[in-house]
């Protein structure tokens, strides 16, 4: 009897998600099906349009439209996303108000027609943010040798191995801002905004060939700060390890990346003319050495 019961026992894992084929009357497994054969709105599968990265246009769609694997939408978390259902990021409702509401979002909510023409001074109503970026931003770490990082700062260009190009180009398509924090093994040299994808005609020969074509960047903060002063920042995207120990092109959690850049803004600016002087001196020394040789 016990064996019969064990054979007839139903695995509780089968009753977690409604069978999408059963909803269409096409499931042929019957009792052998691993999904629930019962109409339950709380256990519906994810809409196929959402899983393919497209907005759902069916007003009567009964499937779930929040994919847990999608990245949460920062604008929606602040209370308003202008893209609405067409947004490719997850819109998840929360019951706690945000710590602050940027002026841009407040303007879009209160005065959507004139917010691009008439500036609305509403920052006094909320806690101010010192972030150098406005809008959706993704943060990445740029790691290289001292010479490579100094070249990046002085020439406003950055190159990374080709296997890292895909994630950076995807970020450029999805976000308003893509920030790049530049470090070597000892110091942090500030951060920049990536303006465009890799271009073989931009600054050729500036970096070693294995790094591929250069990305065009605009330096926002130039500094030279000891990495030990930034060791308190940890990255949830990288197993909660220290940001300063990550590999090249490692993405940083937006909340951590924003605080990291705000901290860098507190340090004194670096005069890039020092780089040019050192470079001219190295070139002169090399020429003198070859002449003597």
Q: How large is the C-alpha radius of gyration of the chain?
A: 26
Q: What is the pLDDT of residue 33?
A: 82
Q: What is the pLDDT of residue 87?
A: 74
**Verdict on whether the full-model pTM lies above 0.75:** no
Please, are residues 113 and 82 in contact by the beta-carbon 8 Å criterion? no
Q: What is the pLDDT of residue 63?
A: 75
Q: What is the pLDDT of residue 54?
A: 67
Q: What is the pLDDT of residue 131?
A: 74
What is the tens place of the pLDDT at every residue in 93-103? 665 666 655 55
In the chain, which stretches have pLDDT less than 50? 1-8, 13, 111-128, 289-290
Q: What is the pLDDT of residue 141?
A: 95
Q: What is the pLDDT of residue 269?
A: 86
Domains and CATH numbers, the chain: 2-43 (4.10.1000.10), 137-276 (3.10.590.10)
Q: What is the pLDDT of residue 216?
A: 94
Q: What is the pLDDT of residue 14?
A: 58
């Amino acid at each position: 009897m016990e064996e019969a019961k064990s054979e007839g026992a139903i695995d509780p894992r089968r009753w977690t998600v409604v069978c999408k084929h059963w909803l269409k009357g096409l499931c042929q497994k019957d009792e052998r099906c691993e999904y629930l054969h019962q109409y339950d709105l709380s256990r519906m599968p994810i809409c196929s349009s959402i899983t393919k990265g497209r907005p759902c246009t069916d007003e009567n769609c009964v499937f779930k439209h929040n994919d847990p694997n999608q990245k949460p939408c920062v604008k929606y978390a602040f209370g308003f996303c202008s893209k609405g259902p067409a947004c490719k990021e997850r819109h998840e409702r929360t019951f706690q108000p945000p710590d602050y509401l940027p002026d841009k979002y407040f303007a879009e909510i209160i005065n959507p027609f004139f917010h691009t023409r008439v500036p609305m001074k509403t920052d006094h109503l909320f806690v101010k943010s010192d972030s150098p970026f406005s809008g959706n931003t993704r943060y990445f770490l740029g790691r290289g040798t001292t010479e490579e990082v100094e070249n990046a700062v002085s020439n406003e260009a950055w190159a990374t191995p080709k296997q890292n190009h895909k994630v950076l180009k995807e970020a450029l398509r999805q976000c308003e801002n893509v920030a790049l924090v530049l470090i070597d093994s000892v110091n942090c040299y500030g951060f920049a905004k990536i303006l465009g994808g890799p271009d073989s005609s931009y600054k050729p020969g500036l970096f070693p060939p294995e790094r591929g074509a250069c990305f065009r960047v605009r330096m926002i903060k130039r500094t030279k700060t000891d990495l030990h002063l930034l060791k308190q920042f940890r990255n949830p995207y990288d197993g909660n390890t220290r940001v300063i120990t990550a590999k090249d092109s490692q993405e940083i959690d937006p909340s951590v990346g924003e605080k990291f850049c705000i901290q860098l803004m507190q340090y004194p600016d670096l005069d890039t003319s020092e780089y040019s002087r050192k470079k001219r001196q190295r070139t002169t020394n090399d020429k003198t050495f070859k002449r003597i040789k």
